[in-house]
A and B are shown apart, each in its own frame.
Chain A
Amino acid sequence: MRIFFKKYRWYVIIVLIMTTILVWHTILIEGEKVLEISFFDVGQGDAIFIKSPDGNQVLVDGGPPNGRVLRELGKAMPFYDRFIDVVIATHSDQDHLGGLIDVLERYKIGLVIDSGVYGEGASHTQEKLLLENKKIKTITGKRGTTLDLGDGVRLEILFPDRDVAGMESNSTSIITRLVYKNHEFLLTGDAPQNIENYIVSEGDIKSDVLKVGHHGSNTSTSPIFLGKVKPNFAIISAGKDNPYGHPHKEVVSLLENFGVTVFETSKMGTITFVSDGRDLKIK
C-alpha cells in the first residue's frame, strides 16, 4: 500500500483536488432558490429554458438543428445533470423542433408536450421515431393544462384549445404563460395575429416579459394583443442577418410605441431573467 502511494502520489493528489473542486462547484451552483428563464441564442429559431426555484427544468423549443441549443444547455445546467423534466415542442417547424431532436437523443426527458400535429419534414419523422424508441411519455398540449413547477411556479397552456390537425403549422403553436408570484412570462411560439387576438378574449394575459411571436415577423404581434399583454420587456429570438429580415421594422417600432424595452438574442446573445417573485433582474 505504501509503495502504491509513493508511486502514484501525484495521481492521488490530483484526484483529490479535482473531487474537492467538484463538490464545491455543485454546492455553489445548486444553492440559489430563484426562478430563471433563459432565451437561448440559437440563431434563427426559438429555445427557452426555465429553471424553477425547486430545480425543475422545462425546455420550450430547441431552435434549428445546429447544435447550439446543446451548448447553451451545457452552460445552463450542471454538467452531471442529464435530466430535463419537461420538453415542449410548440409546433413542427424546423427552427423550433430541429434542435430538439438532439436534446431528445442525448438527455433523459420526463415528459414531452407537443401540438399533436405531425408535419412531413425530416425533423418530424425523427421526433416521432425517437419518442417511440426511447419510450418518452408524450401528451398533446391543451388549454387548461397547468404544470406545477414547485414553489408556486405555474406554467399554463393557453392554446390550442381544440384539435389543430390540418391547420397551418404556425397557427398550431402551443402558447404558454409562466407565472411566479408577481411575475409573468408569455411564450407564443410562432402564433400569428389572429390567434393572438383570439386568446386576448379568453382571459387575463398580462405579462412582464413577452417572447415576441415568430421571431419579430409582421405576421405576429397585433396592437390589440400587445395592449392586453402590456409587457415591460420583449424578447426577439432571431438569427443575425437572417434571410427573412426578422425582426420586421414595423414590429420593433410598434413595441417602442408601447414603451416596451426590446432585447434581441442576435445582439445580446442568451438573455436570462432571474426572479425571486418580487424583483425581476436580467443576468
Chain B
Amino acid sequence: MRTLFLYIGIISFLTGVTIRLLFIFDFFFPFILFFIAVIFFILSKKERYCHTEVFVIISVTTLFFSFGIFRVDILESGRTFLLDSSLGTYSEHTGTVITDIERKENYNRFTVATRGEKILIYTNPLEKILYGDELILSGVLRKPEIFYDVDNLSNGKAFDWPQFLAKDEIYYELFYPTLVNTGKGDLSLFQNIKRGLFITKESFIKNVHKVVSEPEASLLAGEVLGQKSSLGNELQESLRRTGIIHVVVLSGYNVTIIADSIMRSLSFLPNAVSLYLGIGGIILFTLMTGALATVVRASIMAVLVILARRYGRLYDITIALLFAGFLMVLHNPAIILYDPSFQLSFLATMGLLYVSPFVEKFFKFIPKKLGMREIFGATIGTQIFVLPLLVYLVGQISLVSLPVNILVLPAIPLTMLFGFMTGVFGFISYHLSFVFGLVSAVFLSYQLFVVNFFDGSYSALIGIHISLWEVIFVYFGLFMYFIFRKKDRAI
C-alpha cells in the first residue's frame, strides 16, 4: 500500500510539473489544491466513512500535484531578465565561461555567466577559450528564436530553441562578439576541478587526433566522450537517417554500455569487485565528460540498471528509477518537457529493464556468443521504448534503424575500449597509441561502412507527425502496464 502511494505521489508530481509547464495558472491555485488535499486527509481519518483509502489517494494525488505546480512557480519567479535593457544594442559584457566549448562546423559555442544572467556565445572556431576563462565581450545581444533545425532540414519541423535554452536558464544569445580573454577567472574549488577535467578531455581527444584520421576520429570522440559536434553535418545527418545517432550522444544507453563491458571483461573477478569497478568506470566516465548535468542524470540511471542486474528485483528497481527521475525533475523541472536527453535516457533505461528480457525470449535462435543475444535484445528493447518519443521529436521513422543498430552496436564496446586506450596511451607513448588507434580505426571504418551502405541504398525515412498529447498518452499507458503488472520477477 505504501509503495502504491509512492507511485501515485511521484506520478502526480510529474503530471503537475508537466501541466504547469504547458499552462499558466493563478498564483494561488496550488495553495487551493493544498487545502483540498488537507481536507480529504482529515476526512479519511473520520471513521464513519467506509472507503477511507479512496480519500487518502485523492489527498496524496492532489497534494503532489500541487507540489509539482508550485515547483514550476518557484522556477519561473526566479527569472529576472536583467539584460533585457541591452537587447538589440551594441553593449559590453564581462563574464566567465561556465560550459564546455561545443565545436560546430562554422563556430564554437559556449555559455557565459554575467551579472546573474547567462548568455550563449558563438565565436570563430579558432578562438582558444577554456571553461572558466574570463571574457570581455562586445556585440549585439539577441533573444533566441524558434527555428527550423539546421541539422535536420529534411523533416521541416520547427525546433523550440528558446524553450530548449530556457531549461538551462539561458535567455540571451551573442553572435561573433569581439572578445578579450583575460585568462582564468575567480573559480570555486568545484569549478577548478571541472576546468582540469575539461583540459584533460581536450588532451585526450588531441591524442586520438594524432593517430586516427577523420571522420573516424570524430566518431571515436563521439562514442567515447559524447562529443558529437565535430562530426560534421553530413555524417550527423547520415547517422540520424539510419537511426544510430544515439551512439554519439551521451545518454543512459551509452553509459550503461561502458559499465556493462567493463564488468563483462572483468567477470573472472569476484562479483562484488567487478560491480564496484563497473560503477567506478561510470564515475570516471562522468568526470571525463566534465560532469555535465545530462551525463550525471544518465549515469545515475545506468548505475541503477547495473544494480538491478546484480541484485534487484524489477519491482525495487522501478521504484528507484522513478524516484531518481523524481529527484531530477525536482532539481530542474524544465527537463521533463524540454530536455530530450533526459527523456531518452529515462525511457531507454526502462526499455532495457522491461522490454529487453521479454524480447530476448523470442530470439533463442541467436547464439549467446559474444553476448550477441543480449545485445540484440537490448537494441530492440530500447528502440521500441524510445520510438514514440523519437517520432515525436524528429517527426520521422528510420526504416533501416533496426538492421543498422544490430550490425553496429556489437562493435561499440570494443571500439570504446580500444578508443579509450588510444587516448590514454597517447599520454605515454605515441607508438603504443598508434597501434591502438589502428585497431579502433578498423572498428570505426566498419561502422561507417554499415551506415553508408544503408544510408545510400534505401530511402530510409518516413515522415510521421504525432502530437505531444498522443506521446504522453502512449507512455502513460505503457508505464501503467509495466508498473501495475502483477508478476514480479527477477532479472
Chain A contact residues, CB within 8 Å of chain B: 10, 18, 21-22, 64-68, 70-71, 73-74, 77, 79-80, 82, 94, 98, 101, 105-106, 121-123, 126
Contact = CB atoms under 8 A, between A and B. Distances in A.
B127 A67 contact: no
A98 B369 contact: no
A60 B236 CA distance: 28
B281 interface: no
Contacts of B434: 82
A82 B210 contact: yes
8 contacts: A10-B369, A22-B438, A66-B105, A67-B103, A67-B230, A77-B213, A82-B211, A122-B127
Contacts of A94: 124, 126
Interface in B206-233: 206, 209-218, 230, 232
Contacts of A126: 126, 128
A74 B215 contact: yes
Contact of A79 (B103, B125, B126, B441): B441
Contacts of A122: 124, 126-128
Cβ-closest 4 pairs across A and B: A74-B213, A70-B214, A122-B126, A74-B214
Contacts of A73: 213-214
Interface of B: 103, 105-106, 124-128, 206, 209-218, 230, 232, 369-370, 434, 438, 441-442, 445
A259 B232 CA distance: 37
Contacts, number: 66
A78 to B, nearest CB: 9
A29 B127 CA distance: 37
Contact of B106 (A66, A70, A80, A123): A66
Nearest to A71: B214
Contact of A105 (B206, B216, B438): B206
Nearest to A126: B126
A101 B124 CA distance: 13
B313 to A, nearest CB: 32
B209 A79 contact: no
A241 to B, nearest CB: 13
Given A65-B124, A70-B217, A77-B213, 18 more contacts: A10-B369, A21-B442, A65-B126, A67-B230, A68-B232, A71-B214, A79-B212, A79-B216, A79-B438, A80-B438, A82-B213, A82-B434, A94-B124, A98-B126, A105-B206, A106-B217, A122-B127, A122-B128
Given A10-B369, A105-B206, A126-B128, A67 B213 contact: no
Contacts of B126: 65, 94, 98, 101, 121-123, 126
Nearest to A102: B209
Nearest to B124: A122
Nearest to B234: A71
Contacts of A66: 105-106, 125
Nearest to B230: A67
B216 to A, nearest CB: 7
Contacts of B128: 122, 126
Nearest to A18: B442
Contacts of A82: 210-211, 213, 434
A126 B218 CA distance: 22
A89 B213 CA distance: 21
A146 to B, nearest CB: 30
Contacts of B124: 65, 94, 122
A68 B434 CA distance: 23
A281 to B, nearest CB: 24
A79 B213 contact: yes
A106 to B, nearest CB: 4
Contacts of B230: 67
A123 B128 CA distance: 10
A210 B382 CA distance: 54
A22 to B, nearest CB: 7
B98 to A, nearest CB: 22
Contacts of A79: 212-213, 216, 438, 441, 445
Nearest to B370: A10
Contact of B232 (A71, A80, A105, A123): A71
B105 to A, nearest CB: 4
B103, B213, B370, B442: most-surrounded residue (chain A CB, <10 A): B213
Contacts of A77: 213
A258 to B, nearest CB: 34
Contacts of A101: 126
A121 B105 CA distance: 19
Contacts of B442: 18, 21-22
Nearest to A82: B211
Given A22-B442, A67-B230, A79-B445, A106 B210 contact: yes
Nearest to B235: A71
Nearest to B127: A122
A240 B174 CA distance: 25
A64, A70, A79, A122: most-surrounded residue (chain B CB, <10 A): A79
Contacts of A10: 369-370
A116 to B, nearest CB: 21
A68 B216 CA distance: 13
A73 B213 CA distance: 8
Nearest to A129: B128
A22 B230 CA distance: 26
Nearest to A68: B232
